[in-house]
Structure 1
Amino acid sequence: MSLQKSRILAQSLLTHARLRVRPPRHPRITAAIGAIFLTTAATVFALATGEDNTPVLQQTVVEQLAIQANQIVDTGEWGYLREERVQRGDSIAALMMRLGLDDSDAAVYLRTAAEAAPIHRQLAPGKVVSARSDANGRLLALIFPLNTADQVLVVERRGEHFVTHHEVLQLSTRVQHGSGEIRSSLFAAADAADIPDAIASQLADIFGGEVDFHRDLRRGDRFHLVYEMLYHQGQPVRAGRILAAEFTNDGKRYSAVFYKPSGDTKGGYYTPDGRSLRKAFLRSPLEFSRVTSGFSNARLHPVFHQMRAHKGVDYGAPIGTRVRAVGDGVVEIAGRQGGYGNIVVVRHAGRYSTAYGHLSGFAPGIKVGSRVSQGDVIAFTGQTGWATGPHLHYEFRIDGNQVNPLTIALPGTPPLAAADLARFRSTTAALQQQLALIKRDNSGATVTASR
C-alpha cells in the first residue's frame, strides 16, 4: 500500500473517532482518550505501510474435459510450393532446376507441347514463376505470368498427363511513391529508384509537350511520383497509371495530377490549377529514343551522297520498336511508298497530318480508314526504303507541307469548365498533398500503401 493511501486511512480513522466520541467533562479522561487515539492512528499507519503478509488460500482443482477425436481434412495432393524469378539467359531446364523439379515427363511436355509454347516465347527476366511439386520433385502445377491481359498460363498434372489453361488474375492495387534524379537518362534514373520502365514512359508522355525528353534532359533534373502498381498474391504484375507527378528540368518545375472530368471516361493530366497538359499531338512518336538526323533544308543524303533537304526527323531505334500515333486521326496511307519504304500517314483534325516511314510492319488492324487515338501503336520501326540503318523517319505536316516537329508550337486542349474546377480541386487535393510530402525525401526510396 502506498504512503498516500496510508495517510488517507489514518486520517479517516481520526475523523471518524472525533465524530463518534463526545468531549468528556474531565481533563484526565480527555488526556486518556487522546492517548488512545494517537496510539490507534500510529498502529494503523504502521500496519498500512508494511507488506501484506496475509497468506493466500490456494486450491488445486482437477477437472476432466471431454476431448473430441481429431478429424483429418483431405486437402488433396498440395505438395511443396516454390517461386523463382526468371534470370537473364534462363532456359526452361535451368528454371525447373531452381524450382526444385526433377521430372523428365514435365520437361518433355514443356519443351514440346504447343499449349506450353508461350512459356518459351515470353521467358523474360524478372518474371516470377511458381511451381508445386511432390516430395520426389514431380511437377504438380506450374504458374507462368503472360505478357498481356493480366493472365497466367497454368500447367497442371492430371494423373500421368498434363493439361494447360489460362486464368485471369485477381489483381489488387497499391499506391506507391518514388523519386529519382537524372544522372545519364530517364530510364537509368527510374531503374536506380526501382520504378518500372512503364511508369518512366508515362512520365515522358505526361510532360512530353513541355519537355523534350530526347534533347532537354539535364544532369541533376529530378522527378517525384505517386503511381499505381497491380499485384497478384503479393507479387507485382504490372504498373498502373501515374496519379501525380512533378518533374524539374533545368531548374523549371512541372506538376501534374490525374483527373477524370465529368463525362470523360478516360481522364487526363492537369496542372494543379486545372490546366490540361494534354496536347493535340505528342512531341515524339517513340516512347524513348534519340534523334539521329534532324529537320534540315540541306544535308548530305546517306544513300545518294548528295546535298538534299531532309523534311523530317529520324529517330534511331532497334527494328520492331513500337511507333505511336501522335494524335487522334484516321489512317490515310498504310503501305509501301518509294523511298519511305513501309509508311503510315494519319490525317488529323483540321490542317494536320503525320507520316511514319521505313517501317518493318504495321500493327494489327491498321489499314486505310482505321481510326486511331493518340498513343495507339500503329507500326514498328524498320529499315525499309532508302535507309542505311534501322530508324523511324517522322514528318509533321500542315496543309501537306512538312514542318519541324521539334520546334513547332503544338496546339493544346480546352481547359476545364468552371463548373468542373471545384470538383477537380477537391478530388486532387489528397494527391497533391502526397506529392508535397514525398518531395521532402531526397533519398529516392519507394514507399507503398495498399488500397
Structure 2
Amino acid sequence: MSKKNIPFILLIAFSAIIYFTLPYFNHSVEVSETPKTTSIDSASLIKPEPKMLYGMVVDSLVIIEDKIKRNQNIAEILLPHNVTNEAIYQLAKISKEVFDVRKLVANKKYTLICERDSLKTAKAFVYEHNSTEYVVFNLRDSISVEKKQKEIQIVEKGVAGIIESNLSVTMQELGLSPQLTNDFVDVFAWQIDFFRLQKGDKFKLIYEDHLVEGQSIGSGKIKSIYFEHFGNDFYGFHYDQGDGIDYFDENGNSLRKALLKYPLDFTRISSRYSGNRYHPVQKRYKAHRGTDFAAPRGTPIRSVGDGIVLEARYQKYNGNYVKVKHNATYTTQYLHMSGIKSGIRPGMKVRQGDIIGYVGSTGLATGNHLCYRFWKNGVQIDALKVDLPPSAPIKKENALAFNLKKNQMLNQLEMINFPEENATVFASVK
C-alpha cells in the first residue's frame, strides 16, 4: 500500500466509526435530558378506609357480640374481660343520668370491643337500648357514658292490594305493619265504613318506611292512597298548609273531621248502637246506646278530640270510665276500662289522640271490649252515623302548590300495579 493512500483509508475508517456509534451517542444524550421514571399504581398509595363500629376505629381490636341473658348484669359481662369491680362501680355511678345499667333487658344485643391481648381487655361496652339508640360505655383511662342515635334512612314505598276478607288481613299478608293499617283507616275513617268492606275492594298506598342498617323499624307518614270501594274511587293526599299534616281528596277538600271516627286502633265491632239489643249479662232485650269495640285487654283508648274531662272514675255498671266534653255540641264516653291512664282526672284538658285509658271488662261486661258512647246536643246518638263538619280545605294561596304535589303523587300511584297485573313495589330513596 502506498503512503499516499493511507490518509484516505484513515478518513474512511473514521467516518465508519462515527456512522455506527452516533445512534448510541444520541440515545445517551436523550436519556440524560429525560430521566427514566418508574410507573407506580396510584391505588397502592391510597390507604384503605379504617373499619368503624359505633363511631370507633376497630381494625386491630377484637369484637364480641352477644345478647343479654335473663337476670344478667353488667358485672357478669365485664369482669371476665379484665375490668375491675372498682371500674364497674364507677361506670354504674356516672351512667345513671344517661342509662341505668340495672335496666339491661334480656335478649337485647350488646357488643364488647376488646384489646387483642390474652385477657381480651374490654375497651368499650355497647348496649343497643332499642332499634334506633345505643349506649356506649367507654372503659379506657377516662370512663364515660354516651347515648347515641343510629342513622335512620327514610324510603318511600308503594304497594297495592285486593281485599279478600278484611283490610287488616290483606295488609298483614303484604308484610305491612298494624300501625300502617291504623293510619290508613284514619285517613278515610269518615268516608268509608271499614267494618263493611266488600271482597274485591282495591287500594294503592305510598308510605314512608324507616330503615336502620337496612331493616325496617316502622312506618312513617302515609303520602297518598287510592281506594276503590263498591266501584267508587277515593283519593287521599297528604299536605301541610303550615299547621300540620292533613289529608285531602283530589279536589282539595279535607278528609279530616273535628273528631276521630274511632277511639282505638282498627279492631272489630262486636255490637252496634241499637234501640233493642239482647243484653248478654242481664239476659233481656234493652236499648244499647253505644258501640262496642272488641279488643285485647290493655289496648290503648284515645280521646277522639280535644276537650275537657268531665268524669274519670269507677261505677258499678260502667266499670272504669272517662267522659270528655269536646265543645258545646259533642260529648263522648269510654266504658269498661281495665284502668284509667295515670293523670287523667276531671277538669284536665286532653288533645285529640291522647291515651285516656285501656281496654278491659270492668263493670257489667262479659269480655274485654270498649263501649263507646256519643252525645250531640245532650242526646245520645250512633257515633258511627254522626255527620261532622270537615276541616278546612286547601287555601287559595296553596292551591297551585297542592295541585303540583297532588299530580306528582298521582303519577306515583299509577306506577303501581294491582296483584292480578303482576304487582310491583315502587320504591325510591328520599
User: What TM-score range do you get, normalising by the shorter chain?
Assistant: 0.7 to 0.9
- Structure 1 residues 354-402: Cα deviation after superposition (integer angstroms, max 9, x where no partner): 1001112233543323333322222211111111211101001112221
Corresponding position of 1:115: 101
Checking the alignment, whether the CA contact within 8 Å between 1:103 and 1:137 is kept in structure 2 is no
Checking the alignment, whether the CA contact within 8 Å between 1:178 and 1:195 is kept in structure 2 is no
- Structure 1 residues 93-149: Cα deviation after superposition (integer angstroms, max 9, x where no partner): 49x9xxxxx98969xx9xx996353634x96xxxxx5745668999854442537xx
Give the C-alpha shift of residue 71 in structure 1. Answer: 8.9
Match of 2:198 among 201, 205, 218: 218
Match of 2:128 among 134, 144, 163: 144
CA distance in 2, matches of 1:388, 1:232: 43
Give the alignment of 1:189-268 within 5 angstroms.
189-213=170-194, 215-261=195-241, 264-268=242-246
CA distance in 1, matches of 2:227, 2:121: 51
Give the C-alpha shift of residue 165 in structure 1. Answer: 5.3
CA distance in 2, matches of 1:118, 1:219: 47
- Structure 1 residues 232-290: Cα deviation after superposition (integer angstroms, max 9, x where no partner): 343333211001111222322211000112xx331200001101000122222121111
- 2:400 aligned with 1:400: no
- 2:429 aligned with 1:450: yes
Q: Using a 3 Å threshold, how does the CA distance of structure 1 residues 321 and 66 change in structure 2: closer, same or farther?
A: closer
Q: Using a 3 Å threshold, how does the CA distance of structure 1 residues 386 and 119 change in structure 2: closer, same or farther?
A: same
Q: Using a 3 Å threshold, how does the CA distance of structure 1 residues 322 and 79 change in structure 2: closer, same or farther?
A: same
- 2:166 aligned with 1:180: no
Give the alignment of 1:46-195 within 5 angstroms.
63=37, 75-76=57-58, 78-80=61-63, 92-93=68-69, 115=101, 117=103, 119-120=105-106, 129=109, 131=111, 141-144=125-128, 146=130, 151-154=132-135, 156=137, 158=139, 166-195=147-176
Give the alignment of 1:345-356 within 5 angstroms.
345-356=323-334
Q: Using a 3 Å threshold, how does the CA distance of structure 1 residues 440 and 288 change in structure 2: closer, same or farther?
A: closer
CA distance in 1, matches of 2:78, 2:130: 23
CA distance in 2, matches of 1:155, 1:172: 22
Q: Using a 3 Å threshold, how does the CA distance of structure 1 residues 80 and 382 change in structure 2: closer, same or farther?
A: same
Q: Matched residues, percent identical?
A: 27
Corresponding position of 1:292: 270
**Aligned partner of 2:237: which letter?**
V
What SS does the corresponding residue of 2:415 show, helix, strand or coil?
A: helix
Checking the alignment, whether the CA contact within 8 Å between 1:247 and 1:255 is kept in structure 2 is yes
Q: Using a 3 Å threshold, how does the CA distance of structure 1 residues 417 and 141 change in structure 2: closer, same or farther?
A: same
- 2:325 aligned with 1:344: no
Q: Using a 3 Å threshold, how does the CA distance of structure 1 residues 444 and 285 change in structure 2: closer, same or farther?
A: farther
Give the C-alpha shift of residue 338 in structure 1. Answer: 3.3
**Aligned partner of 2:230: which letter?**
D
CA distance in 1, matches of 2:127, 2:160: 33
Checking the alignment, whether the CA contact within 8 Å between 1:116 and 1:164 is kept in structure 2 is no
Q: Using a 3 Å threshold, how does the CA distance of structure 1 residues 69 and 189 change in structure 2: closer, same or farther?
A: closer
Q: Using a 3 Å threshold, how does the CA distance of structure 1 residues 137 and 374 change in structure 2: closer, same or farther?
A: farther
CA distance in 1, matches of 2:313, 2:389: 29
What SS does the corresponding residue of 1:339 show, helix, strand or coil?
A: coil
Q: How many residues matched?
A: 364
RMSD over aligned Cα atoms: 3.9
CA distance in 2, matches of 1:142, 1:224: 41
Q: Which runs of 5+ in 1 are unaligned?
A: 1-58, 85-90, 97-101, 124-128
Give the C-alpha shift of residue 188 in structure 1. Answer: 2.2
CA distance in 1, matches of 2:379, 2:341: 26
CA distance in 1, matches of 2:388, 2:397: 27
CA distance in 2, matches of 1:81, 1:236: 25
Checking the alignment, whether the CA contact within 8 Å between 1:230 and 1:240 is kept in structure 2 is yes
Q: Which runs of 5+ in 2 are unaligned?
A: 1-30, 51-55, 82-87, 93-98
Give the C-alpha shift of residue 231 in structure 1. Answer: 2.6
Q: Using a 3 Å threshold, how does the CA distance of structure 1 residues 347 and 131 change in structure 2: closer, same or farther?
A: same
